[in-house]
Amino acid sequence: MKLVTAIVKPFKLDDVKEALKGMDVQGMTVSEVQGFGRQRGHTEVYRGAEYTVDFVPKVRVEILADDADTARIVEAIVTAARTDKIGDGKVWVTPVDSVTRIRTGEMGTDAL
Amino acid sequence: MDSGNTAWVLVSAALVLFMTPGLAFFYGGMVRSKNVLGMLMQNFFAMGLISVIWVVVGFSLAFGGGGNGWIGNLDFAGLKHLAQADAHLPGYVKDFALTVPALAFVAYQMMFAVITPALFTGATADRMKFRGYVVFLGLWSVLVYSPVAHWVFSPTGWLFKRGALDFAGGAVVHINAGIAALALIVVLGKRKGWPNEAMHPHSLPLTLLGTGILWFGWFGFNAGSALGANNLAAQALINTHLAAAAGMLGWLVVERLKDGHATTLGAASGAVAGLVAITPCAGFVGGLSPIAIGAIAGIVCYLAIQLKFKLGYDDSLDVVGVHLVGGIVGSLLLGVFADKAVNSLGANGLLNGGSDLLVDQLTAVVATLVFSGVVSFVLAKLVDLTIGLRVSSDDEAEGLDLSQHAETAYNFGDFASMGRIG
C-alpha cells in the first residue's frame, strides 16, 4: 500500500477531486497548508510599509492506495492540477506499513 | 427657509451617506474572503470620486436649468450661485418651492449620486479591474446618472413634466443602476468557475449588518425625499419600514416553500427588495399599500434571481434580480397603488381610479432602461477596449484584495500573515 501526497494550487482542488472520483478512488483527505517552493510569495502594503509574505497558500491532498493503482492516481493528479505555471506543486508516493478501518477493524487493502 | 425642514434634510443626507458603507458590507459578506476588500473599496471609493464630480459638474447637469428637459446647464458647476440662502433652483417654484438651503439639497442629492453606481458593484463582483472601475464610475456618473436624474427628479425634466412619479429613485437609482449592472456583466463575462464552482458568501453576519445599515439609512433616502419634516415624511418613513418588513416576509415564505428553509440571506435580500420597490412609491401611497408592494417585490425578486442560471449571465450578487426587477416592480405598482389623498402633488393609480399614471410610469421605466442600458454598454465596451475592465485570470484566481490592493482582509497570525517588512 502507498500514501500519495500532493501539494496543489487551491483553485485546482476541485479538478483534482473530480478526476480522482472519476477513477474509483474511494476517499481522500485534504488540508490547507502554506509553504514555498520556486514560486515567489507576494507583497502587501499597509500605509506605505511593504510586507513580503513568502508562504503561499496551497492544498495538500492525501490518498491511501493499493500499489497497483498508484501510478494511475499520480498521473491523474498531475494532469488535473497542471497549469504550466510556476507553483503547480508536487506529488510524491511513500510506502505504508499498515492501514486499519476503525469501524470494522478490517486491515490492509480491505481497509482502503 | 424652514429650520425644521433644513435639519431633517441635513440629517437625511448623513443617513443616505451611511447607506454606501452599509451596501459595502451587504455585498462584502456575500463574496469570497479573497475579494472582500475589493468589494468594500469599490463602494468606499464611490464616496470619494462621485462627491468631487458631483460638486464640479454632476449637480449642475442634474438640476441646472436650460429648459431642454434632457440635461441641465453648467450654471451651478463648481457650486456657483448656490451658496446664498436665497439661491434658486430652476423648476423649484410654487408647489415644489424648496424650504431648505440649496446647499442642503446639493448635499442630500450628492449621496444619491454616490450610492447609485455603487449598487452595480454587486453584479460585477470578484472580477472587475480597479482601474477600469474608477474610469467607468466617473464617466457613468456624468453621462448616465446626471441626465436621468434631470429627466425624473428635476421639475424641468421631460419625464417629470410628463407626469411620471419617482419619489426617491425607483427609476433614477434602482432601474438605472440595475440595467447598467446588466450591461457591465454582458461585457465582463462570467466569473471563472461560475456556475459550477461553489462561491459561498464568506460572512453572512457582515451581510446582515449591512442590511441593517441599509434599512436604517433608507429612512433618510425615502422620508428625506419629502424635503421637509412633515406629514409626508412620516408617511414615507412608515411606508419604507412596512415595505421592508413585508418584503422580508414575502421572500421567506416563497423561499421556505420552494427550498425548504428560511435563510438569513433570504431575509436580508427580501428586506432590500421591499426597500427598493417602495422607493419610487414612498410619498405617494398610504394605508396598507406598502405591505402589498413590499410583499409582491419580495416574491417577484426571489423568482427573478433564478433567471441568471437559466439565461447564463453571472449577476454575482443579484443586482439585476433585486434592484432592476425590484425597481421596475415598484415603479409600475405605483401606477396601481398611488393615492392623491396621500400627496396632492402625486396622482391616482388604477385602484384609485387613475389610468394615466401607469402609462407615464411605463414610459419612465422604458426610457431609463433604453438610455442607461445603451450608454452603459457603450461605456463598458470603451473602457474594456482601452484600459481593460476585467482582471487577468491569475489576478482573479488570487483575488481582488491582493491583486488590486496589495492587502488581505483577515490576518489571524497564522503562517499566511507572517512576513518581513521591506
Domains, chain B, in order of start with CATH, read: 3-408 (1.10.3430.10)
Tell whether the torsion through CA atoms of B51, B53, B56 and B62 is positive or negative.
Answer: negative
Residue B420: which of A14, A46, A52 has the nearest Cβ?
Answer: A52
User: What SS3 state is found at B354?
Assistant: coil
pLDDT at residue number A38: 84
CB B272 within 8 A of CB B214: yes
Each residue's pLDDT, cut to its tens digit, for chain B (422 residues) gives 899 999 999 999 999 999 999 999 999 999 999 999 999 999 999 999 999 999 999 999 999 998 899 999 999 999 999 988 778 999 999 999 999 999 999 999 999 999 999 999 999 999 999 999 999 999 999 999 999 999 999 999 999 999 999 999 999 999 999 999 999 999 999 999 999 888 999 999 999 999 999 999 999 999 999 999 999 999 999 999 999 999 999 999 999 999 999 999 999 999 999 999 999 999 999 999 999 999 999 999 999 999 999 999 999 999 999 999 999 999 999 999 999 999 999 999 999 999 899 999 999 999 999 999 999 999 999 999 999 999 999 999 999 999 999 999 998 766 656 667 76
From chain A, pick out residues whose CB is under 8 angstroms from the CB of B397: 9, 11
* Number of other CB atoms surrounding residue B321 within 10 Å: 24
Nearest CA distance, A53 vs chain B (angstrom): 4
Verify whether the Cβ–Cβ distance A34 to B415 is below 8 Å.
Answer: yes
Nearest CA distance, A5 vs chain B (angstrom): 21
The grid cell for B10 is: 441635513
Burial of residue B113 (CB within 10 Å: 0-12, 13-18, 19+) is: buried
Q: ipTM for the complex? A: 0.78
Q: What is the pLDDT of residues A32-91, one digit of tens each?
A: 998 988 887 888 888 888 888 888 889 999 999 999 999 999 999 999 999 998 999 999
Amino acid at B260: G
CB B266 within 8 A of CB B317: no
User: What SS3 state is found at B128?
Assistant: strand
Verify whether the Cβ–Cβ distance A44 to B197 is below 8 Å.
Answer: no
Nearest CA distance, A106 vs chain B (angstrom): 35
Verify whether the Cβ–Cβ distance B402 to A42 is below 8 Å.
Answer: yes
Side-chain-side CA neighbours of residue B343 (13 Å): 27
pLDDT at residue number A37: 86
Verify whether the Cβ–Cβ distance A44 to B415 is below 8 Å.
Answer: no
**What angle (nearest 5°) sits at the alpha carbon of residue A94, between those of residues A91 and A97?**
150
Verify whether the Cβ–Cβ distance A57 to B402 is below 8 Å.
Answer: no
pTM to 2 decimal places = 0.93
Q: In angstroms, how far is CA B162 from the centroid of its own chain?
A: 23
The grid cell for A61 is: 491532498
Nearest chain B Cα to A49, which residue? Answer: B421
Q: What's the CATH class of domain A2-111?
A: alpha beta
pLDDT at residue number A50: 87
* Number of other CB atoms surrounding residue B70 within 10 Å: 13
Nearest CA distance, B404 vs chain A (angstrom): 11
Residue B27 contacts by C-beta under 8 Å, 6 or more apart in sequence?
Answer: B39, B43, B121, B122, B125, B207, B210, B317
Residue B406: which of A9, A34, A45 has the nearest Cβ?
Answer: A45
**What angle (nearest 5°) sits at the alpha carbon of residue B85, between those of residues B80 and B90?**
60
Burial of residue A104 (CB within 10 Å: 0-12, 13-18, 19+) is: exposed
CB A56 within 8 A of CB A39: yes
pLDDT at residue number A39: 80
The grid cell for B148 is: 436621468
CB B279 within 8 A of CB B322: no
Verify whether the Cβ–Cβ distance A34 to B416 is below 8 Å.
Answer: yes
Size of interface A-B (CB pairs under 8 A): 43
